[in-house]
Copies of this chain bind each other. A is one copy, B any other.
Amino acid sequence: MKKTDRAIEEKICPLEFAVNAISGKWKIPIVWRINQGEKRPSEMLRGIVKVDRRVLNQQLKELEHDGILRKEVFKELPPRVEYTLTPLGKSLVEVLWKLNDWGESLLVEKNDSHC
């Protein structure tokens, strides 16, 4: 591999990693809703209409594993589970706003106002 190629690979590497981390099904709606203040999986299930609990739990687990979410279990009866954004998760939300703005330009370009 040439030196310039390696430089390009190194630049792409964190980017591909970032895209992989957020491109899982429902991950963006989940992060977005937690950012809006929804902390409990039951709230998310009501809000994200097409997701089922098994899929939601898997996505939450991956986001927690990536350090984007923090899970807190309250020892109550019945037990209560809440998710919040870590500092890494909060910085992701900042980038998602930029990507959202770009998506708006894309929708204008495609002359498509529905998703």
A: residues with CB less than 8 A from B are: 5, 8, 11-19, 21-23, 28-29, 32-33, 36, 47, 66-67, 88, 91-92, 94-96, 98-107, 109-110, 115
* Copies of the protein in its oligomer: 2
List the B side residues contacting A110 at CB < 8 Å: 66-67
With most chain B CB atoms within 10 A of its CB, the pick from A13, A15, A94 is: A15
CB distance from A56 to the nearest CB of B (A): 16
A12 to B110, CA, bound (A): 17
The reply to whether B115 and A88 contact each other, CB–CB distance below 8 Å, is no
Q: Could you tell me if B32 and A106 are in contact, using CB atoms closer than 8 angstroms?
A: no
Query: Chain B's nearest CB lies how many Å from the CB of A6?
Result: 12
